[in-house]
Amino acid sequence: MTVLRPPGPLVAYLPEAAFELLAEHLVAFANADGGTIVVGLDDKGRPAGRVHAEEVEGLLRAAERLCRPAVVTGWDQLDGPAGPTFAISVPRSPELHALADGRVLVRAGSQNRPLGGEEIRQLAATKSSSDFEAEAVPGAVRADLDGDLIAEYYEKREQRQRRPLTQEPDEVLREIGALDGQGRPTTSGLLLFGRAPQQFLPQAGLVFVKFAGTEPRGDDGLAGYGRREEVTGPLARVIESAWQSVWSEMSVGAVVKGLERQDITEYPPFAVREALVNAVCHRDYRLKGRRIEMRMYSDRLEVISPGGLPGFITVDNLVEEHFSRNPRLVAGLFQWGYIEELGLGIDRMIEDMVQGGHPPPRFRAAPYSFTVTLSNARERRATPRWETQMNERQARAVTYVREQGSITNREYRELCPDVTPETLRLDLNDLVDRGILLRIGAKKGTYYILK
């Protein structure tokens, strides 16, 4: 029996044969990370009427005529108790796609969002670059891939899918882009399964550095560090080794709740792992001469990933939007079990940090790097329940009020420049309704303080 997932960044449902809506889904998925459109079911997985294969073919042809350029698709029949339904697969496209009326859409959560001018230009710049992770690596041969790693991936993928894989391993490797059509290892293939990927891609490693204080200096106050490790190997092993390095350096405290002792780590484990996995998945592997860096100071942990944010992603829409620079690596590590749920990690990272009494993570984007900073400053107070239920924008607003004493609508718009004024107004109204902020003044003189 097929396990259906709810609508999201990679899944949409089309209960009726509406070719205009199907065209919107095709363009949105192709411009983002690809996905699957299930025809014949509603978003609860309930049958919406019997659909025939001939209808799906006609529906696809009509929808494709509205896409500029045409979107590559494939489809399979899914047999269910109420009759057949059909799953249309849309791969991520190296081209920028628009609808016949000129709209450019991307998949954002469970919706298709139209892009504005600057976002379209950013996405076009990303699309125009070659598909680096699918390119064959010069000099690499099939024997450079580790059979034990492939077997481990094969087993983990079967467990996640809850059904056996019927293809031979090399067929699976071609399907996921680890081998090209001639059987040569690709960039993503070497990064996931290579015996020694840094032999071909020296930039693919990670450097972990522990400093004694809050500055990049050693115990004696001079330039230096307390510990430095270079982490190499395929990406799964890089993640595991880097995590062990950080874990071994994290301080651990304890609290007693009732009759039980609970350990409290310096940083929430999920937040650290998410920052690490995101850096490994989303760095720009085309950039040579620089590796991922994890810098551990006495007051913070910095994870620095080479390459700016991809596509239309900005620091302000990072939580709501989803776009991968390396979708094959993301899919591979997801099937392997290193990513719990696609598109939800940033939300939980923020939630775990705030729930643990820490400030929210800080994100900083530069043209050729992206940095996540986790602070270990823990407020010595019980975390109110409302504080764990704020979105990332609201958490940023409350942090601003704590630091500055108040916030105005204009200041909130400056904090979140890529979010619509109406969304920000609703954010502030929600914080007022829940008794978190107090509204002072009226009209243009309105400002907000902590209640």
Q: At 36, which CATH number?
A: 3.30.950.30
Counting as low any pLDDT under 70, the low residues of the chain are 1-4, 49, 80-83, 128-130, 218-224, 253-263, 341-344, 379-389, 442, 451
- Structure token digits, residue 100: 């016949």
Q: Looking at the structure, tell me whether residues 52 and 143 fall in a common domain.
A: no
3 part of a folded domain: no
Phi, psi of 287 (to 5 degrees): -80, 115
Cα–Cα distance for residue pair 72/53, rounded to 1 Å: 18
Q: Looking at the structure, tell me whether residues 194 and 104 fall in a common domain.
A: no
Phi, psi of 384 (to 5 degrees): -60, 150
Query: Are the C-beta atoms of residues 395 and 374 closer than 8 Å to each other?
Result: no
Q: Looking at the structure, tell me whether residues 273 and 241 fall in a common domain.
A: yes
Single pTM value for the model? 0.70
List the beta bridge partners of residue 136. Answer: 186
253 part of a folded domain: yes
Cα–Cα distance for residue pair 227/214, rounded to 1 Å: 15
353 part of a folded domain: yes
Q: Looking at the structure, tell me whether residues 154 and 229 fall in a common domain.
A: no
Q: Looking at the structure, tell me whether residues 47 and 154 fall in a common domain.
A: no
Per-residue pLDDT at 323: 83
225 part of a folded domain: yes
Q: Looking at the structure, tell me whether residues 443 and 400 fall in a common domain.
A: yes
Q: Looking at the structure, tell me whether residues 395 and 279 fall in a common domain.
A: no
129 part of a folded domain: no
Number of domains in the chain: 4
- Structure token digits, residue 297: 């100071």
Q: Looking at the structure, tell me whether residues 261 and 294 fall in a common domain.
A: yes
Q: Looking at the structure, tell me whether residues 222 and 335 fall in a common domain.
A: yes
Half-sphere exposure of 172 (CA within 13 A, CB side): 17
Q: Looking at the structure, tell me whether residues 410 and 276 fall in a common domain.
A: no
Q: At 402, which CATH number?
A: 1.10.10.10
Q: Looking at the structure, tell me whether residues 144 and 106 fall in a common domain.
A: no
- Structure token digits, residue 168: 């031979």
Domain-ending residue, one of 375, 408, 428: 375
Domain-ending residue, one of 312, 343, 375: 375
Q: Looking at the structure, tell me whether residues 220 and 367 fall in a common domain.
A: yes
Q: Domain limits at 162?
A: 134-200
Domain-ending residue, one of 357, 375, 393: 375
Q: What is the DSSP string of 61-106?
A: HHHHTTEESPPP-EEEEEEETTEEEEEEEEPPPSS--EETTS--EE
